[in-house]
Amino acid sequence: MQSETQCLYEQRLTRYVTALYNGKPDRIPLRVFAEEFAAKYCGYTNYEVAVNHELQFDANRQFAAQTGIDAVQTNSVVNWFGMQKAIGWDGITFPGIGLSVDDVNQWSEPTTEEEAFLKATEYDEFIDDPTAFLVTKWFSRFTRHINPPGGLVTFEHNISFINGLMAYNKFFSTWGAKTGELIEAGVVPAVGSVLKAPLDLMGDKLRGYVNLCFDLHERREQVIKACEGLMPHLLNLVLGGADPDGNIPSIIWMHRGSVPFISQRDFKEIYWATLKPILEELWSHGHQIIFYAEGNWDHHLESFAELPEKSIIFHCDKTDIFKAHKILGEKFCISGGIPNELLSMGTVKEVQQRCKEVIDAVAQDGGYIMDASALIMNDAKIENVKAMIDFTLDYGTYSQAGISSSSLEDMKNIAKPAPSGLKYPEQKRKPGVCIPWEEKRNELPGFEGDERLARKVWEEVDGMGYGYCWVNLTW
C-alpha cells in the first residue's frame, strides 16, 4: 500500500508531466526555482548553503514540502565551495568569502585576450580535438592550481586534481541520495540533465563574451566551426544524464543568444543553427527540455516554433509571456512570467494580481507551469513568494480531474520526427572518449581471458573521466 507521500508524489508527477506535455491537469503545477530564497526561507545564510552542500538540498526540500509546491530543483544553489575551490575555479566568488554572507554567488568571465581560456590563435587546435584541448590547455587556465603539460608537476597541481575529483564524487553521490529524499517527501525533482548552447559556452567558459563579440566579426568561420565542434559533446552530456523514463525534462540555461547580445544574423547562423540539431536529437530519444530563457527572447519566438510539438517547455523571464503564449502555446508548455522585481519589491496584492493576469491569459487550456521569471534569490519577500504559491493553489485549479497515468503515457507516446543530424568538423577523438581502447590495448600484455570484459570496464572508466572534464567546462 502506498504511503500518503507516495500518493502525493504520484499525483504531483502526473500533474507536472501533463502540463509539460501541454495538457490540462487538475491544477496548474507549481515548479518554483528557489535559489538562495530557499536558504532564506529555512533560516540559513547564503554563506552557509555555499559551503555546506547538504543544506543546499535540504533547504529546497523543506521549502517545497512546507509550501506545497509540486516540483523543485533537487539542489537550490548548485555551486558548492568544496567542489569548485578544491580544483581551484577562480571564476566563481562565494558569499561570505570575498562577499558578504548574504550576497549571492557570482561568476566572472574573461574580458581580455590575455584572460581568455581559449586564445584567438588556438581555434583550429580546439576544433581539431576539443577534449584534448580541455585537458592540455583549458584546465590550466580555468583553475588556479593546475599546471599545463610541460609545466611543473607540483604537489598543489596533483592534489588539486585529486581533491577536485573526490569532492565532485561526493557532491553527486549526495545528489542521488537527496533526490531520493525529495521523492520520499512527495516532491518531484523538476529537472534532469543540463545543456548549454554552443555559442553561450564559447562566451562563458572559453573566450569570454567580449572576446567572442570581436571574434564574430574578425574570425566568424572559426567561431562557427568551434560551435559545431561542441555539438556532439554537448549532446553526449545531456543525453547521458537524461531521465530514462522520459518524465523529467532536461534544462538549457540560455542567456546570450537574445537581443541585444547578438544580432539576428548571429542568432540564425550560429546560435540557433548549432543548438537546434541538439534539441532535435534529444527529442528523438524521447527527452523534453526546458528552455530557461534568461532575458528577453521576443525576437526569436518564431524560430523556437520550428521545433517538434511538445519537445520543449518555454520559460519566460523578460520575454513577453502573452506573446510567447500566442506564438508557442499551441505546441509547447509555457512557464514563469512572475517578475522577480515584483517578488522582491511588490506587495502581496500586486503579486496576486500578476498571477491572475498570467493564469487568465496563458493557462486556460493547461500547458502552463507557475514559477517566477528567474531564479529566486534572497531579496524576494517570503510573503510574496507564498502569495504566488497560495494564489495558484487556489485560483489555479481546473474544473476537471487530472488524467490517469495510462492516459499520460499515451500523451507522451507521440510520433517524433527524425532529427536532421549533427554536422560538425571531423575530430581526432570521438565524443565520450579520452583514451580509446585501441590505444590502451597496445600498452597491455596479451589477454588470456575475454578481452571484451576488460574493454567494457576501460570504456566505462574512461567515459567517466571524459564526463568530468566536460562537466567542468559546461557547469
Partner 1 sequence: MSVQILEEIFKCISEGDRQLVKGKVQAALDAGLSPERILQEGMISAMAEVGRLFEAGEYFVPEMLIAASSMQEGLQILRPHLAETGIKPIGSVVIGTVKGDLHDIGKNLVAMMLEGAGLNVVDLGVDVPPEKFVDAIRLDQGDVVAMSALLTTTMANMKTAIEALKQAGLREKVKVIVGGAPVTDSFARKIGADGYAEDASRAVRLVESMIC
Pick the stretch among 20-28, 209-217, 274-282, 440-448 that binds partner 1 (CB under 8 A).
209-217
Q: Which of residues 176-195 bind partner 1 (CB under 8 A)?
A: none
Work out whether 378 is an interface residue with partner 1 (CB under 8 A).
yes
Cβ(80)–Cβ(53) below 8 Å: yes
> Smallest distance from the beta carbon of 382 to partner 1, in angstroms?
15
> Smallest distance from the beta carbon of 383 to partner 1, in angstroms?
16
Per-residue cell: 368: 502552463
If the CB atoms of residues 8 and 42 are measured against partner 1, the closer one turns out to be 42
43 vs 372: CA distance, rounded Å:
21
Helix (H), strand (E), coil (C) string for the chain: CCCHHHHHHHHHHHHHHHHHCCCCCCECCEECCECHHHHHHHCCCHHHHHHCHHHHHHHHHHHHHHHCCCEECCCCCCCCHHHHHHCCECCEECCCCCCCCCCCCEECCCCCCCCCCCCHHHHHHHHHCHHHHHHHHHHHHHECCCCCCCCCCCHHHHHHHHHHHHHHHHHHHHHHHHHHHHHHCCCEECCCCEECCHHHHHHHHHHCHHHHHHHHHHCHHHHHHHHHHHHHHHHHHHHHCCCCCCCCCEEEEECCCCCCCCCHHHHHHHHHHHHHHHHHHHHHCCCCEEEEECCCCHHHHHHHCCCCCCCEEEEECCCCHHHHHHHHCCCCEEEECECHHHHHHCCHHHHHHHHHHHHHHHCCCCCEEECECCCECCCCCHHHHHHHHHHHHHHCECCCCCCCHHHHHHHHCCCCCCCCCCCCCCCCCCCCCCCCHHHHHHCCCCCCCCHHHHHHHHHHHHHHHHHHHHHHHHC
Work out whether 165 is an interface residue with partner 1 (CB under 8 A).
no
x/- track of binding to partner 1 for residues 301-340 (CB under 8 A): ---------------------------------------x
Fill in the amino acid letter for 398: Y
Cβ(392)–Cβ(355) below 8 Å: yes
Q: Which of residues 76-105 bind partner 1 (CB under 8 A)?
A: 93, 99-100, 102-104
Work out whether 433 is an interface residue with partner 1 (CB under 8 A).
no
Work out whether 120 is an interface residue with partner 1 (CB under 8 A).
no
Total residues in contact with partner 1, by rule CB under 8 A: 33
The one among 10, 122, 379, 459 contacting partner 1 by CB under 8 A: 379
> Smallest distance from the beta carbon of 435 to partner 1, in angstroms?
38
Picking from 211, 151, 173, 139, the residue whose alpha carbon sits closest to that of residue 57 is: 173
Work out whether 341 is an interface residue with partner 1 (CB under 8 A).
yes
Work out whether 345 is an interface residue with partner 1 (CB under 8 A).
yes
> Smallest distance from the beta carbon of 106 to partner 1, in angstroms?
5
If the CB atoms of residues 209 and 398 are measured against partner 1, the closer one turns out to be 209
Distance between first and last Cα of the chain: 41
If the CB atoms of residues 295 and 467 are measured against partner 1, the closer one turns out to be 295
> Smallest distance from the beta carbon of 399 to partner 1, in angstroms?
36
439 vs 431: CA distance, rounded Å:
16
> Smallest distance from the beta carbon of 443 to partner 1, in angstroms?
46
x/- track of binding to partner 1 for residues 12-41 (CB under 8 A): ------------------------x-----
Q: Which of residues 211-230 bind partner 1 (CB under 8 A)?
A: 212-214, 216-218
If the CB atoms of residues 217 and 349 are measured against partner 1, the closer one turns out to be 217
> Smallest distance from the beta carbon of 217 to partner 1, in angstroms?
5
Grid-cell match 574512461, residue found: 462
If the CB atoms of residues 226 and 307 are measured against partner 1, the closer one turns out to be 226
If the CB atoms of residues 203 and 367 are measured against partner 1, the closer one turns out to be 203
> Smallest distance from the beta carbon of 318 to partner 1, in angstroms?
8
If the CB atoms of residues 108 and 169 are measured against partner 1, the closer one turns out to be 108
CB atoms within 10 A of CB 402: 18
The one among 3, 106, 173, 347 contacting partner 1 by CB under 8 A: 106
Instruction: Tell me the sheet residues that pair with 210.
Output: none
If the CB atoms of residues 6 and 106 are measured against partner 1, the closer one turns out to be 106
> Smallest distance from the beta carbon of 245 to partner 1, in angstroms?
36
> Smallest distance from the beta carbon of 380 to partner 1, in angstroms?
8
Q: Which of residues 249-268 bind partner 1 (CB under 8 A)?
A: 259-263, 266
If the CB atoms of residues 56 and 288 are measured against partner 1, the closer one turns out to be 56
Work out whether 377 is an interface residue with partner 1 (CB under 8 A).
yes
> Smallest distance from the beta carbon of 206 to partner 1, in angstroms?
16
> Smallest distance from the beta carbon of 299 to partner 1, in angstroms?
9
Per-residue cell: 240: 547521458
Q: Which positions touch partner 1 (CB under 8 A)? A: 36, 93, 99-100, 102-104, 106, 108, 111, 209-210, 212-214, 216-218, 259-263, 266, 295, 340-341, 344-345, 377-380
